[in-house]
Chain A
Amino acid sequence: MYEYQTLRLLAHAGGTACLVVGLVANAADEHSVLTAMKTELDRSMKILGEQPVPPYFLSYEITERKTVSAGASFGALTGSGESRGRMLDIDLRVGDYALDNTRPLREQNRFSFSNFSLSQAPVEDDVDAIRALLWSETDKRYKQALEELTAVETNVQVKVEAEDKAGDFSREEPSKGVETERPIEADLATWEQKLERYTEPFARYGEFHDARATFSAGTETRWFVNSDGSAIQTTETLYRLFVSASTKADDGMVLPLYQSYTALTPQGMPDDETVARDVAKMIDTLRALREAPLVEPYTGPAILAGEASGVFFHEILGHRLEGHRQKLEDEGQTFKKLLNERVLPENFSVHFDPTMTQHGGTDLVGTYRFDNQGIKARRVTVIDKGILKAFLLSRRPIDGFPNSNGHGRKQAGYHPVARQSNLIVEVANPLTTEELKAELLAAIEAEGKPFGLRFEAIQGGFTTTGRFMPNSFNVTPLVVYRVYPDGREELVRGVDLIGTPLTTFSRVAAGDDQIAVFNGTCGAESGGVPVSAASPSILVSQIEVQKKEKSQDRPPLLPAPIGDDRLGFTFH
């Protein structure tokens, strides 16, 4: 089904993301929206239960998203505002747990049933209007589900027997939890001024073509009910400051750089001095990058610093452990037969832990209390001392894994599939940073290479997991250093880190004790979801880099219009 799917991870440059904040949900009030949903769900099940083909499962989820945000460019405000919206998602299933209307059709027009449907709900707590919407949408979904079931039953008849024998939906215990709603705590006027201040230093230079800062603070409240008896109300919050800038080298290459700050609370945002220091560093790095030499395609040893390493694990491991990819017949199924086999050195373990809210003092955005199918979040150890132990599972079971482990996730409007949460790489008996670099130098010498590479800041990455396109990954670095045998480092530009998963994975050699966190938005078939990847720096004995795609446009012909005396600026 997803042969052409490219799975993408990007630093939080846009969109909204969310975090679980309330740790304990005592005596919180159940919202009238939740009550209305319960009532209408019972009524729908009763009415549709009298139909010849009744639904065997029904769930409603209403997601309310409130955001305040502002943006500035080169010291001038470009926009500011607040938004509020509610989306309704319905999962209605006919057939039974073994075979239902949601089973993906094999070798069928892949666009016949869209994975996305938009259903806007009233933002006012008007119980009658919400129930009117629930009923009219349930009716539509029911009719659609009947058509889908007919198509699924025909498809099963005409195709060879599926390799995976597990059914379409798992039986689970109901979940209950009601958390108090939380307000957004941010004064937009203050942030507008801060953003102008943060981006003003870039305006002093003519070589930056883009320099902006955005701030957003958001809450996402979810109300979820299903016919198993689950009833959940949670509120997640996220505060985020993102500063980005780019310049262009004389050969046309666009050189971007960013600094991202993410927190659960406004108190977690950086102070002005920290941002000013980071902006000054960005300016220096960008100007140095313009002059930095290009790297030719190369294979050899490299160190991936914490964030780069986290994204590397997210792309090559995480996506390939998502449950439905072990089941779909057009997926690469890279790790399916490696269960209980060694895939990493013995001192490496990897967990997905949505219950963690922080790691090494940094907030983790891939955290939640219940997934989008109402299953309680839990820690899943996927690699234990180098041995592959588990997959990430939604309520779509796979052979040997009949139950969800709380990773059925989605963006509002999409159907949930197994997705990543907080990826945590642990290295037992880690090296120090110096020892790791010594190992790199040793590897350079052993292989007789002129240099190795050290990847520091990265933008994100993507991977393809299907069978039609090559099964590969790409990590997009922003800051890369050439490391010479004598230990000297030189800033370079113009390369992407690429490879195929199993080969590259087998070259992971060692890790240090410096944990770094990458917080980002991961895009796949169930939309964009917030994820984190926490990892120490790792040494990979052989990586491959290819030339980065490059703009062919020359830098601007005329000088920037900022050296004009009348404007009171001097040209740098």
Chain B
Amino acid sequence: MKNTTLRTRCGALVLGLLATSIQADEDALMQALRDELARSVGELQMEEMDKPYFVAYTVRDMERYGAAASFGALLPSWETRSRRLSVEVRVGDASFDNTNFRSMSSFSSGFGGGRVLPLKDNTVEIRRQIWLATDAAYKEALQQLANKRAALQNETRTEDLADLAPQEPFTYTAEPSRNLPNLGDIEGLVRDLSGLFREMPQIADSQVSAAASYQRTYYVNNEGSSFIRNDPSASVVVRAQGQAEDGTILNDFLTENRLEWDEISDPDELAGAVKDMGKAIAERMGAPKLPDRYIGPVLFEGQAAAELFAQVLAHRFIGLRMPDTESQFSSFMGQGQNPFLDKLGGRVLPRFLSVKDDPTLTGEDFVGGYAVDDEGVPASATTLVENGILKTLLTSRNPVGDIEQSTGNRRGGGPAPSNLIVTARRGMTRDELADELKLLMDEREAEYGIVVRRLGSPLFRATTGSGISISFGGPQQQQSSVEPALLAYKVYPDGREELLRTAEFAGIADAVFKEIVAVSDSTTNHTFLYSPMSFSGLATIISFGGAGFASSLGQAVTV
């Protein structure tokens, strides 16, 4: 609720030390983790209760700089350095332990377990915090296991899944690669970019922010896995909002997510993009508003195609397990099961499309890549959809459905995509796609078709005015909400295009993706922030660019 700048002095202090000293500090930290791990596994036991069979420690040492500005003047900047410990303690055994269970008490006691560690490598103090956190986590785990056993005595479980998938030990150490800009550089960029809005009277509200961070993540578990990983990130976000004569609020945004600050586009390029965005908003203000509903073919191009995949399908590829619950909860928790779990081996996309997740791709274009996941599982490519058939889902070490092994996709609180790559067996050129769209219009005797070039993002939602409503799928289908289009056009049979102020979607069902008629031969590399409740991290999606894909909406039903 409060705006604060946090400038951390210790960051500078530690960073001023020599590399050898950093090495010594890291060794001391890892040693402290291992020493307490040994005590926890070897000695921690309540009388006549289970000992922990699995203990893992993660330390996230994060340094972050950021700034924001409005109309050319800086808002509070931030500079933070933090070091946080999280602890995982499991009691029971891999086939049945304290996890995958939710009860009244687990909601009230919270999901804590995080602790702040000292910034300097004071070994005694680090060990004290690990000791206290482990003790609290162990007691909570015992309680959870007892509650789970009690709750399940009265019920037959529908599936008898293990709670922790086996995993070969793996170790990995990345060389430190801190490469952060000065706060002044970030401040300069946001001040300059936001100053451009002073020349745009159509923009009533705007903000530019940018940040760069560097995190070293340290992990150890008692199975012998350990890693030290670098998790850098850099971003620029521009948001602007204008109001049409009739009060409709029109927003737009511009984001760039990279791993390193050096990889952010140069200021002139960004300035050009900001000016274009201002112009686009102004043009949409004058564009016609269509209150009627549209049912028919839509061509999603470039960003819109990738963002549509990200908003609807990315979540479907997650193998998230529904926990067992106390009986009074089961009605709440019964919902939320991923419908794709029942579609393994079935068709989810047209025959000519395949999808894989590949965290081993790294570098500028693949911000979702990593070498090892948050449970110490090495990264590897996973084929999710092959020729339209769903093969598997992305998992952590928490077995789900028939998927008993981790795909190495644990990121934060659960599995998440890394780099999703959509490939097609036959792609069309831009002209061929336009012809295909025309063909679909002719079939339906439609007066016009719709082309969507930019989709809104759930992260940059604004109060939207009314626009046309496009309806996909029937009410019996599982639907996902899709953000309104920021750039949508009517396309007439003669190829003429007419800009629309906005276009909203009435909900898009999974089945719509099977109705994809054609895709382009070119691709778009699009970065999005995948953030379900438990995790917020970057993922990359590669899908069709330049032209995109057209979707026929044969079964489209009224809302």
Contacts and interface: CB of A to CB of B under 8 A. Distances in A.
Say if A and B assemble together: yes
A160 interface: no
Contacts of B128: 74, 203, 560-562
B465 to A, nearest CB: 15
A81 B69 contact: no
Contact of B76 (A70, A85, A126): A85
B75 A123 contact: yes
Interface centre among A67, A128, A129, A413 (most CB of B within 10 A): A129
Interface in A179-206: 188-189, 192, 203
A560 B127 CA distance: 9
Given A74-B125, A78-B116, A81-B79, A556 B132 contact: yes
A208 to B, nearest CB: 9
A524 interface: no
B76 A557 contact: no
How many A residues are at the interface, by size bracket? 35 or more
Interface in B102-158: 116-120, 122-125, 127-128, 130-132, 135-136, 138-139
Interface of B: 1-10, 35-36, 39-40, 43-46, 69-76, 79-82, 116-120, 122-125, 127-128, 130-132, 135-136, 138-139, 198, 204-205
Nearest to B205: A136
B185 to A, nearest CB: 17
Given A85-B4, A136-B205, 14 more contacts: A82-B7, A83-B6, A123-B5, A132-B198, A188-B9, A192-B9, A203-B125, A554-B139, A557-B45, A557-B138, A558-B39, A561-B39, A561-B127, A569-B124
A560 B2 CA distance: 37
A502 B205 CA distance: 52
Contacts of A189: 9
A76 B1 contact: no
A116 B1 CA distance: 9
A553 interface: yes
A122 B46 contact: no
Given A130-B73, A562-B128, A73 B118 contact: yes
A76 B125 contact: yes
Contacts of A116: 1
B3 A203 contact: no
Given A553-B136, A553-B139, A567-B123, A561 B36 contact: yes
Interface string A529-572: 00000000000000000000000011011101110000101000
Contacts of A73: 116, 118, 125
A70 B6 CA distance: 11
A76 B83 CA distance: 13
A126 B80 CA distance: 26
B136 A129 contact: no
Interface centre among A78, A82, A569 (most CB of B within 10 A): A78
A554 B198 CA distance: 61
A136 B241 CA distance: 12
12 contacts: A73-B116, A78-B119, A81-B7, A82-B5, A83-B5, A129-B72, A133-B70, A203-B128, A557-B135, A561-B36, A561-B39, A562-B127
Contacts of A70: 9
Given A75-B125, A129-B70, A553-B139, A81 B80 contact: yes
A1 interface: no
A50 interface: no
The 5 closest A-B pairs by CB, nearest first: A129-B73, A122-B73, A76-B118, A126-B73, A85-B3
Contacts of B39: 558, 561
Contacts of B204: 136
A120 interface: yes
B257 to A, nearest CB: 23
A395 B102 CA distance: 50
A209 interface: yes
Contacts of A118: 1, 3
B74 A203 contact: no
B119 A413 contact: no
Interface centre among B73, B116, B130, B132 (most CB of A within 10 A): B73
Interface centre among A70, A118, A561, A569 (most CB of B within 10 A): A561
A556 B36 CA distance: 14
A84 interface: yes
A450 interface: no
Interface string A61-86: 00000010010011111111111111
Contacts of B70: 122, 129, 132-133
A87 B1 CA distance: 11
Nearest to A66: B5
A78 B116 CA distance: 7
Contact of A560 (B1, B71, B73, B131): B131
Contacts of B136: 553
A85 B2 contact: yes
B8 A80 contact: yes
A434 interface: no
A540 B119 CA distance: 48
A560 B125 CA distance: 10
Contacts of A123: 5, 73-76
B118 to A, nearest CB: 4
A107 interface: no
Given A126-B72, A558-B131, A562-B124, A79 B4 contact: no
Nearest to B42: A558
A126 B194 CA distance: 13
